[in-house]
Amino acid sequence: MRTIRVPLKLINLQDDGFHLLVEIVVFGKKHWAVLDTGASRSVFDKALLEQNIASEAIETINPEEDTVATTLFSTSSTAVAILPKLKLGKLKIKKYQVVGLDLQSVNEAYEHLGHPQVAGIIGGDILIKYKAKISYKRLRVTFYK
C-alpha cells in the first residue's frame, strides 16, 4: 500500500470555527479546496467546470432529481461531469465523476475574511476510498492507495 502525504492549510473563520484547505490541481492549474469530512460527496465549482469542459460533456440536473450529491448548499441546479484528472499532492485520480455546484457565495465569504477562493470541496467519497487520515497536529492528510 502506497502512502501519500499532502499538506493542509488551517484557516480561522473569525471565531466561528476552522476549515482545512488542501491544494489540488485540476485542468492543469493549482487551486484550493476545502477538506470536509462532513460532506458525503466531493463537489466542484460549477463555473470552473463550465470554463474547462465542453458544454455537451456537462449534464445539468435539478436538485430534487439528484441522488448523487447531498449537500448543505441550496442551488437551482447542479451539474455532473467527468474531470480528466484530479491531483491532491501525488495522489492522481483519473476520470473522476464530479458534481458541480455554484460556490460563489462560499468564495465571497472567504474573500471577505481574507482567505483564498476555493475550487471545490473534497468530501467523504474520496476520503473513504483512499482511507484518509487527517493530522491536525502536523497539518496534513495522508492517503493510502
Query: 57: domain CATH number?
Result: 2.40.70.10
User: Buried (b) or exposed (e) across 16-25, using 16+ Cβ within 10 A?
Assistant: eeebbbbbbe
> According to the model, what pLDDT value does residue 144 have?
97
Grid coordinates of 112: 471577505
129 sits in which H/E element: helix 124-129
Rounded to a whole number of angstroms, the CA Rg of the chain reads 15
> According to the model, what pLDDT value does residue 6 have?
98
> According to the model, what pLDDT value does residue 16 have?
77
> According to the model, what pLDDT value does residue 57 have?
61
The span from the CA of 130 to the CA of 93, in Å, is 10
Q: Give percent of the chain with pLDDT exceeding 90.
A: 68
Give the total number of structural domains in the chain.
1
Reported pTM:
0.85
Per residue in 31-82, pLDDT (tens digit) is 999 999 999 999 999 999 988 887 656 665 554 444 444 444 444 567 888 8
> According to the model, what pLDDT value does residue 71 have?
41
CB 43 within 8 A of CB 120: yes
CB 24 within 8 A of CB 119: yes
Grid coordinates of 81: 461531469
> According to the model, what pLDDT value does residue 52 have?
87
Specify the higher pLDDT residue, 51 or 88.
88
Burial of 57 (0-12, 13-18, 19+ CB in 10 A): exposed
| Residue 141 clears pLDDT 80, i.e. is over it | yes
Per residue in 24-41, pLDDT (tens digit) is 999 999 999 999 999 999
- Give DSSP secondary structure letters for 97-128: EEEEE--HHHHHHHHHTT---EEEEE-HHHHH
The closest alpha carbon to 134, from 22, 44, 24, belongs to: 22
Specify the higher pLDDT residue, 60 or 135.
135
